[in-house]
Amino acid sequence: MFQRSYNRGNFHKKRFHGGGNRRSHRGFQHGGNIHSSKYIQKAVTPEIQQEHVIKNRFEDFPIHPQLLQNILTHGYQKPTPIQDRAIPVILTGQDVVGIANTGTGKTAAFLVPLLHKLILDRSEKVLVIVPTRELAVQIDDELRAFAKNISVSSLLCIGGASINNQIMSLRSNPLIIIGTPGRLKDLVNRHFLHLGQFKNIVLDEVDRMVDIGFIQDIRFIISHLPKERQSLFFSATVSPDVDSIIRSFVRNPITISVKIKETVGRVEQDIIKVNNKDEKLQKLIELLRTEEFKKVLIFGRTKWGVERLSKTLLSMGFVVGSIHGNKTQNQRLRVLSQFKNDQLKVLVATDVAARGLDIEDVSHVINFDEPSTYTDYVHRIGRTGRANKEGKALTFVI
């Protein structure tokens, strides 16, 4: 049994222990590059960081009145730092490299000025490239809110959805396409998508695209773009691979950095040491049966492992769903919606759910399988402790 008590939801000082072996004493995960001590941290009040002074209101931007009305109706009260600094520059037509944390409002930072350009000139077609289907759907939802009562057609080009339906929709010449690299490349190779038509290109969450192996697809897409274009590049980090994409993508860009230190200060973090997979599953089930675990996001390493764990938990009576690369897009969206609306208590997912998704009131993140990198870990546990609320993260270590 656990040596830690969860009474009243408070963490005490003792560690979880389920025995240990030589591997757990070394303290490294399966890849050998994250020490288990990095998964342990008390929740603290986040350190005060230098705030970026907001200079504009949305009313100050020279944008179409209907677009402004839609922004305000959508509940936007004042620009975030990346919106405040990027929107005026993008409206001038300059290339932009935006360095900002995930979840800081980058979507509106590029959608607002690009929609304004389309209202004035329907030839200003827009291509938005993102790493995951879920992020593409979120951007499309945001677009629809901003484009209400504005005649602007859009199309999602993502995997997990019918490519034939996407091919049919391309014939109507949508003004905005939001897609993932693999599906966009497929459509280009089939000669149904002609990238030379797009005058405005957005690469969003580029570090994530590089992390999950899309770098060659991105380079392929860039090689087919027209020379005369406005290029907008957004990333949270700039690795050497990301830097090489920047240099091939933008020309004389304005660099806007509102990056702040990644913080997981509001997330209480700890480990659960176990001897084997059977014990790990047993302890997970015991945790989920504890009243404190109200809305739980569990991360696994592989899509097969995630699906197997989901089915096991379902057979044990838990209200659970799963998201991974083998699910169709409709399945993934349905499960995500159910979890967001508290129709599911548990969501088991691969790292496709680690970035870009804004899910309210996740009480716990559990790393059933350890992440490949510490950056992935930070993004995983960042799904809890959001909106100034406290969250808890647990990582199983064998």
Q: What is the DSSP string of 16-55?
A: P-S---HHHHHTB-TTS-SBGGGG-B---PPPP-PPPPP-
Domains: count for the chain: 2
* Domain final residue, candidates 213, 232, 257: 257
Count CA atoms closer than 13 A to 383's CA, side-chain side.
30
- The CB density around residue 212, as the number of other CB atoms within 10 Å, is 14
Cβ within 8 Å of residue 240, ≥6 positions away: none
Question: What span, in angstroms and rounded, lies between the C-alpha atoms of 152 and 318?
Answer: 43
Together in a domain, 268 and 125? no
Together in a domain, 94 and 203? yes
Together in a domain, 170 and 97? yes
* Domain final residue, candidates 207, 236, 257: 257
Could you give phi then psi for residue 84, rounded to 5 degrees? -60, -40
Together in a domain, 228 and 357? no
Reduced to 3 states (helix: H, G, I; strand: E, B; else coil), residue 299 is strand
Together in a domain, 269 and 253? no
Where do runs of H (alpha helix) occur along the chain?
22-26, 65-73, 81-91, 106-120, 133-146, 163-170, 181-189, 206-211, 215-223, 240-249, 277-288, 303-315, 329-340, 374-381
Together in a domain, 214 and 283? no
Together in a domain, 138 and 27? no
Q: Which single residue is written with the structure tokens 């808890």?
A: 392
Q: Are 267 and 391 in contact (CB under 8 A)?
A: yes
What does each C-alpha distance from 187 to 158, 164, 195, 209 come to in angstroms?
A: 10, 10, 10, 18
Could you give phi then psi for residue 209, rounded to 5 degrees? -60, -40
- The pTM for the full model equals 0.70
* CATH code, domain with 325: 3.40.50.300
Together in a domain, 35 and 87? no
Q: Which single residue is written with the structure tokens 């993934």?
A: 332
Q: How many residues does the chain have?
A: 398
Question: What span, in angstroms and rounded, lies between the C-alpha atoms of 388 and 332?
Answer: 27
Q: Which two tokens stand for residue 218?
A: 């991105």
pLDDT of residue 51: 60
One DSSP character per residue, 54-116 reads: P---GGGS---HHHHHHHHHTT--S--HHHHHHHHHHHTT--EEEE--TTSSHHHHHHHHHHH
Residue 303 lies in a domain: yes
Together in a domain, 99 and 203? yes
Residue 71 lies in a domain: yes
Question: What does the buried/exposed string (b/e) look like for 289-315 if buried means 16 or more CB atoms within 10 Å of the residue's CB?
Answer: eeeebebbbbbbbebeebbebbeebee
Question: What span, in angstroms and rounded, lies between the C-alpha atoms of 355 and 70?
Answer: 26
Together in a domain, 238 and 267? no
- The CB density around residue 116, as the number of other CB atoms within 10 Å, is 22
* pLDDT per 10-residue tile (average), the chain, 398 residues: 37 39 38 69 54 86 96 91 96 95 86 96 96 89 94 92 95 96 96 96 92 90 96 90 93 89 71 92 94 93 94 95 85 88 93 74 92 83 74 90
Question: What span, in angstroms and rounded, lies between the C-alpha atoms of 86 and 256?
Answer: 7
pLDDT of residue 263: 53
* Domain final residue, candidates 257, 280, 313: 257
Identify the domain containing residue 307 by its residue range.
Answer: 9-47+263-397
Q: Are 148 and 98 in contact (CB under 8 A)?
A: no
Together in a domain, 224 and 300? no
Question: What span, in angstroms and rounded, lies between the C-alpha atoms of 142 and 148?
Answer: 10
Could you give phi then psi for residue 54, rounded to 5 degrees? -85, 120
Together in a domain, 229 and 164? yes
Nearest to 257 by CA among 106, 366, 149, 112: 106
